[in-house]
Structure 1
């Protein structure tokens, strides 16, 4: 079992906010033995998008929702949410087991549990299969890498916050080393592992990558490894198509020949391990707390915008 965070417990948000989520009781087989929470805004129309939200270690699904503000986005922009949740019987620190071979391959363990949850919500609520997205923090970010690799046909896009690339570790000692930025496979090895995760030949999900430059838990070199892995998959150059500043932070973008944005990266200068938040003023969502960090930019809002979920 691996904790991607310190052993303190996130306690942000009010009880009324935490109670917004409902249980998804039945969703097919559950080989990963996970819990599942959902948030379906009242009057959600058929053909709405779905966002899968994966919490970090030492967090519950509800606590992460309060911190990141995804259910606020869901209410405003008519989006369904699925929030898979780890159980202590699987991991004492409530982290997703992204590095375990039994929980990082298609058709098994936690990835298959999450895939069955997605299918249930799609069936229950008439979700648009072309607009399913996934995001996560820390161990949830690493499991987002797993889901995008093992079920790429399911997702139109993903967002990895303070996470690690797919295939970077398959043992606990290796995972600990990768978190500290040591011994990572080469870019070519990571691309090969991603391609070999399925027989999928594209199109591939678009990707948003967020990392604090001063992350003391998951070294920022992991963001560079994720970018290299996915640039290779999309056939993109190392040099970004454009670079500009958003709320004081660097945003780099890689686009295809038709100027469609395929990959974006936000490097949050001076930020430690956590989800970047803006909790006051325009385009503000969520509530600050442990690993939910007020830095004057809402990753939740900008990720949703990158995916095309924000109404103009």
Structure 2
């Protein structure tokens, strides 16, 4: 990408409506901790409740994917090109609804797969509209999978990234989403050497966790307005990190995270902008040698200034790409105003993530066994 070269966006809409301070309310003393946690979830939903979509996308009638698939009789049958189908996946760890987009003009070749995790209060359909990822899929040729969180799993439709059960391999939501990803690779003939995961806010935090838990499945991650894998183990800890940023990093060596591209608005009042620094801290603690960095500053066609810093081992081995969007709030940069929580004036986060993703592939295809949540 040439410095300063970005893509058109529309004038920004109001990004940050008046937001009450949730933290004092969420952490007030209650006679029953269960009541306090339920109040917290409902208030998080209230903070991030998406507005009614301005426009409705065209509906495509398509036969839904089969709900139960026997491995012994499984036959790969990719959905028709240009279809956006609904499915319901069952695993030992639970059920998960999803939407799958197959690009127009797709050939018989195996296509890359991008998994997209929505934020609190959003839906898979709303996230698809706001990110314009399906349009990019038509342009660049890849499948897009949108898992859909249920209200039974979380009242605010948030991914439970703060729960210990949902922070490790073979357990909870990471196991369900990894198993769903492997299922889509098999049934839709996706390219198992080109599988990526991204998300916003709670979905971004979950994407970072899942990519780290399944490095044999996901090649790279994209996190927008989210949090790095850390030591948050409770709802209270999650709210503290959202309000104050990450705790001071220790010196303990950690496993090297997968390559990651990060976007965060410096006026985010839901997830503190300093949380973006957690990705670099994690990388520094895992790196066996010194990192190089280079910084670019520019302005999007919509008028948003940005700072882009790349970290790695030289020019070709990039491990982290960090974008700070100046003046932007808790919103998907460069997204469509037809979806919730987007900043059309910012640099195109969707396009930049796809550029970052498609430059990477695994040399040897390795799809982990996920039937038993391994």
Structure 2 length normalisation: TM-score?
Answer: 0.72
Q: Does structure 1 retain, via aligned residues, the 8 Å contact 2:126–2:339?
A: no
Aligned partner of 1:148 among 202, 211, 216? 211
Query: Could you say what secondary structure the match of 1:173 adopts?
Result: helix
**CA–CA distance in structure 1, aligned partners of residues 139 and 54 of structure 2:** 19
Kindly report the root-mean-square deviation, in angstroms, between the aligned alpha carbons of the 2 structures: 2.5
Measure how far apart 1:88 and its partner are.
0.5
Q: Does structure 2 retain, via aligned residues, the 8 Å contact 1:11–1:63?
A: no
Aligned partner of 2:277 among 224, 243, 257? 224
What is the correspondence of 1:1-312 to structure 2 with a 5 Å cutoff? 2=41, 3=44, 6-12=47-53, 14-17=55-58, 21-26=84-89, 28-29=90-91, 31-45=93-107, 46-181=109-244, 184=247, 186-188=249-251, 192=254, 195=255, 205-235=258-288, 237=290, 240-245=293-298, 247=300, 248-257=305-314, 259-277=316-334, 286-308=336-358
Deviates most, 150-159 or 60-69 = 150-159
Change (3 A) 1:63 1:305: same
Q: Does structure 2 retain, via aligned residues, the 8 Å contact 1:53–1:82?
A: yes
**CA–CA distance in structure 2, aligned partners of residues 24 and 17 of structure 1:** 18
**CA–CA distance in structure 2, aligned partners of residues 4 and 235 of structure 1:** 41
Decide which structure has the larger Cα Rg and report it: 2
Measure how far apart 1:238 and its partner are.
6.2
**CA–CA distance in structure 2, aligned partners of residues 13 and 305 of structure 1:** 29
**CA–CA distance in structure 1, aligned partners of residues 289 and 136 of structure 2:** 31
Deviates most, 106-115 or 250-259 = 250-259
Query: Could you say what secondary structure the match of 2:95 adopts?
Result: coil
Measure how far apart 1:13 and its partner are.
5.3
Change (3 A) 1:188 1:11: farther
Query: How many pairs are equivalent?
Result: 292
Q: Does structure 2 retain, via aligned residues, the 8 Å contact 1:48–1:127?
A: yes
Q: Does structure 1 retain, via aligned residues, the 8 Å contact 2:49–2:122?
A: no
Change (3 A) 1:244 1:259: farther
Query: Could you say what secondary structure the match of 2:276 adopts?
Result: helix
Q: Does structure 1 retain, via aligned residues, the 8 Å contact 2:332–2:349?
A: yes
Measure how far apart 1:188 and its partner are.
3.4
Deviates most, 35-44 or 17-26 = 17-26
Q: Does structure 2 retain, via aligned residues, the 8 Å contact 1:276–1:297?
A: yes
Q: Does structure 1 retain, via aligned residues, the 8 Å contact 2:308–2:322?
A: yes
Change (3 A) 1:209 1:78: same
Q: Deviations over 1:32-91 (max 9, x none)?
A: 433222111244332210000000001000001100101111111111011111001111
Larger relative contact order (CA 8 Å, sep ≥ 6): 2
Deviates most, 10-19 or 46-55 = 10-19
Measure how far apart 1:274 and its partner are.
1.5
Change (3 A) 1:5 1:138: farther
Measure how far apart 1:137 and its partner are.
0.2
Change (3 A) 1:7 1:269: closer
**CA–CA distance in structure 1, aligned partners of residues 293 and 136 of structure 2:** 29
